[in-house]
Every structure is written in structure tokens, then in C-alpha cells.
Chains A and B, each alone.
Chain A
Amino acid sequence: DIQMTQSPSSLSASVGDRVTITCRASQGISNYLAWYQQKPGKVPKLLIYAASTLQSGVPSRFSGSGSGTDFTLTISSLQPEDVAIYYCQKYNSAPFTFGPGTKVDLK
């Protein structure tokens, strides 16, 4: 099975900072990669799919890139409401594995 890893596992940044999270698949998954945001006590929310396509209603400060095995989620200017755990996920085929998550909080 394909394994998903994320780095860093956590980060602290200031409001307005550019934040980058990396996700790596152990084998190529083309662009079948999604990013989810889970705020404390809330349900996961789809942010980006097909590695770089923004889900409707998601602020444009979020962006994604990558293909194959290496992917990136970028928040161009961190806002207080972005404090959350971010998960990547492969969805090309079963098992539909999630990465371990990256916790983002404010410095």
C-alpha cells in the first residue's frame, strides 16, 4: 500500500506569514491528492483537490502544487482562522490513506 507522510508535524507562524506544508506519497499518485483542514472540534473540510484545484468557497490564500509523489500546501498569508490541522489524502484507489497531519498554530 502507498504510504503518505507530511512535514512538518507542527509549526508556529505569525499572522501574515507564508506557510508551506509538504506531503509525500511512497509511490506516484499522479494528481489524486486532496488537502483537508480540520479546526479544533470540527469536521474535516475539503480545501484542495487534484493537487492544485481550490474547492469552491475556500479563500485564495490557500494553494496547492505537485504531482507524482511530492505535494505542497501553501497559505500565502496566515490568518487567525487558519489555526487547524491539515491533512493530505490520496484518493486514486483504495486504501484512501490520509497523511498524519500538520498542526498549524499562531506564534
Chain B
Amino acid sequence: QVQLVESGGGVVQPGRSLRLSCAASGFTFSSYAIHWVRQAPGKGLEWVAVISSDGSNKYYADSVKGRFTVSRDNSNNTLYLQMNSLRPEDTAMFYCARVASSGWSHPFDIWGQGTKVTVS
């Protein structure tokens, strides 16, 4: 079935780096833009970043711009989020989410289960 599975979370010290992965299956990964969304403990959803289907276009939330980099490997159906200069306020569950159709302007219809990042 259509699935996204995140990995790579963990506990990391402030200022260090971490790379998250999101493995896709059950659909043509290279046809869809994919987003990263995070949720701090007890807080709401915060959009983090998006990458286009071919990886040529990327956008970031101001809170992570210059520190986080989104990338993808369409040959291996995997999305990445490289997180540098981590701060305690980056502590959150990180979700990858697929858009519902080709292009940018679509809602997020498939979500992974999330991977937890703790900066402490």
C-alpha cells in the first residue's frame, strides 16, 4: 500500500547535525512533491520544507532556512532532511507528507508515522 516511513530521529546536542530519511513505497515517488512537517511536544503542526518531484525546487520555513536542507533520491524512493545547527526549539516529531497530486498546490494526503528528534 501507499506508505511513507521516516527514520533517523534521536537525541542530539545543540549545535550538532542530524539527517532524517523518509522511505516511500506503493506509488510513483518521482511524480510527487513531498513535504516535511514537524510538531513540537504538545504543540500544533508546523510546515518545515517542501521539495518538488524532480528535486529542482525547494522551499523552507523561515525558522529553518539556512540550517535545514531537503533533498531526494528518486532512484531509491527516499526523501531526506539534513538538519544542521540544531537548537532545543527544533525538538519535535518530524513527519514527511505527500501531496495529493502532481504539482505544488495540493493538500497532504499521505503522512508517515513520524520520527522523533530531541535536541538536548
Contacts and interface: CB of A to CB of B under 8 A. Distances in A.
Interface of A: 1, 32, 34, 36, 38, 43-46, 49, 55, 85, 87, 89, 91-101
Given A94-B50, A95-B59, A95-B61, A46 B44 contact: no
Contacts of B100: 46, 49
A101 B45 contact: yes
Given A32-B105, A46-B109, A93-B104, A98 B95 contact: no
B72 interface: no
Given A94-B59, A95-B61, A96-B35, A49 B46 contact: no
Contact of A55 (B59, B61, B105, B109): B109
Interface of B is mostly: strand
Interface residues of B, number: 24
B69 interface: no
Contacts of B61: 95
Contacts of A92: 105
Interface in B25-69: 35, 37, 44-47, 50, 59, 61-62
Nearest to B4: A43
B108 A46 contact: yes
Given A32-B105, A94-B59, A96-B35, A87 B112 contact: no
A98 B111 contact: no
Nearest to A94: B59
A103 B30 CA distance: 36
B44 A101 contact: yes
A101 B46 CA distance: 11
Given A46-B107, A46-B109, A93-B104, A36 B45 contact: yes
Interface in B85-120: 95, 97, 99-100, 104-109, 111-114
Contacts of B107: 34, 46, 49, 89, 91
